[in-house]
Homo-oligomer: A and B are copies of this chain.
Amino acid sequence: MINIAILGYGTVGSGVYEVIGTNADSIKRKAGKQIVVKKILDLRDFDDHPQKELFTKNYDEILSDNEIEIVVETIGGLEPAYRFTKSALLAGKSVVTSNKELVAAHGTELLGIAREQNVNYLFEASVGGGIPIIRPLNGCLAANEITEIFGILNGTTNYILTKMIKDGISFETALAQAQEKGYAERNPAADVEGHDACRKICILASLAFGKAVDSSVIHTEGITNITLDDVKAAEALGYVIKLIGYTKSEEDKVICRVSPMLVPNDNPLSGVEDVFNAIMVRGNQVGDVMFYGRGAGKLPTASAVVADVIDIVKGSDNKNFIWESSDKDYIDDYKKAEIAMFVRASGTDEASVKALFGDKTVVLNKTELCFITPADTEENLVKKLSMLDGEVITTIRVMQD
């Protein structure tokens, strides 16, 4: 038997409690021991809960309980999650979390403390909800050097973009629908402005390349400026627009950015719809491998948390779940990375666009056309586009094959 505590009885925390109950037998078989929730920390009252005696509002009760070996942190946000996590690790308890904000901001320090204390700090649920991605990156793909990771890391924005594409509705209408369905928060900024996806791609980049990628310095664009006209123009060229977290390792630097991208219709990411997530990992031996599933939601996320708990109970070696700190030079200027651009422009003509950017140009209507530039650095493309007659309405990066 092993005792755990759950910090925060919200969506994910209550899901962890539920998963441990529902699958108790198979979890016991796989972990080799029964996993028992001994305490739950939450500031709210849960007097109607069938195990109301588990609840406490005092974290010290958990911290000082030597029978509690694993702490599940599902509070979210930076504080008090950071303080609670740090003190649990220092007290020799392993911590499992779904808190991407905390891992992105303080992962380097917390993983370092875990290593010193010879305990685990695991966070499979922090990226891709229930999709296995953290462990496969370090385990099943361990014979590879990972060169690139890119994917759809935020379900809310993918739902909104899918609605815009399929139903031909505006961003604002699609956002309102997502809020109605509970897929978007009342304040949707963290999702629609790309910050959530940014934290996730930074966690993946840190883990895959071994050095911290600080999410606060990463170029991040959301989807708030994407219009129905962009969606339709992209469609005319054979693409769909997705919010993509992208990272690439090159020599001793890393490129990382979050932005809308045009994904070609024959790329597997193009078919990832609604609230689903998908993460493509490129290894130097295996080529492209993709992981797909529900990137959020109570039970999927909780099942990833519980899988981490099982792994700790089994005594698995997680020494590789660590990354070094890095200096500012480690993050390369994204404007120096090669990229192709999708451009919508007015007041210009097909001949002059083709003269500057080649053949892939579609005339949309009397006043407007759209085209995709050849790949070049962003810097150069911006310069070149400034030479175009007329007005550039939109530029969106294009995913290459």
Which residues in A have some Cβ–Cβ distance to B below 8 Å? 19, 22-23, 26-27, 30-32, 124, 130-132, 135-136, 138-145, 266, 268, 270-273, 278, 283-294, 297, 299-300, 302-307, 309-311, 314-317, 319-320
> How many angstroms between the C-alpha atoms of A317 and B33 in the bound complex?
14
Which of chain B's residues has its CB closest to A20's CB? B143
Q: How far is the CB of A44 from chain B (nearest CB, A)?
A: 24
Q: Max chain B CB contacts within 10 Å: which of A30, A139, A273, A278?
A: A139
Q: Find chain B residues with CB under 8 A from A268 CB.
A: 268, 271-272, 292
Q: How far is the CA of A144 from the CA of B27 in the complex (A)?
A: 8
CB nearest neighbor in B for A143: B306
Could you tell me the distance in whole angstroms from the C-beta of A92 to the nearest C-beta in chain B?
Answer: 21
Count of identical protomers in the assembly: 2
| 23 A–B contacts from the bound complex (CB under 8 Å) | A22-B284, A27-B143, A30-B320, A32-B319, A124-B140, A135-B135, A135-B139, A136-B136, A139-B139, A140-B307, A142-B310, A143-B303, A143-B310, A268-B268, A270-B271, A285-B299, A285-B303, A286-B303, A287-B293, A289-B291, A290-B291, A290-B293, A314-B319
Q: Which residues of B contact A142 (CB under 8 A)?
A: 27, 30-31, 306-307, 310-311
Nearest chain B CB to A288 CB, angstrom units: 6
Chain B residues in 8 Å Cβ range of A278: 290
With A286-B299, A287-B294, A293-B289: A304-B136 Cβ-Cβ less than 8 Å: no
Q: A132-B132, A140-B304, A142-B311 are in contact. Are A23 and B319 (CB under 8 A)?
A: no
Q: Which of A144, A285, A287, A317 has the largest number of chain B CB atoms within 10 A?
A: A285
- Whether the Cβ atoms of B289 and A132 lie closer than 8 Å is yes
Smallest CB–CB gap between A277 and chain B, Å?
10
Q: How far is the CB of A153 from chain B (nearest CB, A)?
A: 15
Are A286 and B314 neighbours in the complex by a CB distance under 8 Å?
A: no
Q: Known: A143-B23, A143-B307, A268-B271. Contact between A138 and B286, CB under 8 A?
A: no
Q: Return chain B residues, CB-CB under 8 Å to A140.
A: 124, 132, 135-136, 304, 307
Task: Return chain B residues, CB-CB under 8 Å to A270.
Answer: 271
A310: which B residues are within 8 A, CB to CB? 142-143
Contact of A138 among B27, B30, B283 (CB under 8 A): B30
Chain B: CB-nearest residue to A134: B140
Nearest-neighbour CB distance to chain B for A149, whole angstroms, equals 14
Cα A306 to Cα B142 with chains together (Å): 8
Cα separation A297 to B305 with both chains bound (whole Å): 34
B19 touches A285 (CB 8 A): yes
Contact B287 A130 (CB under 8 A): yes
Excluding A19-B285, A271-B271, 19 further A-B contacts by CB distance (< 8 Å) are: A19-B143, A22-B284, A30-B320, A31-B142, A132-B132, A132-B139, A132-B140, A135-B136, A136-B136, A136-B140, A143-B305, A266-B273, A268-B292, A285-B300, A287-B297, A287-B299, A288-B293, A291-B292, A316-B316
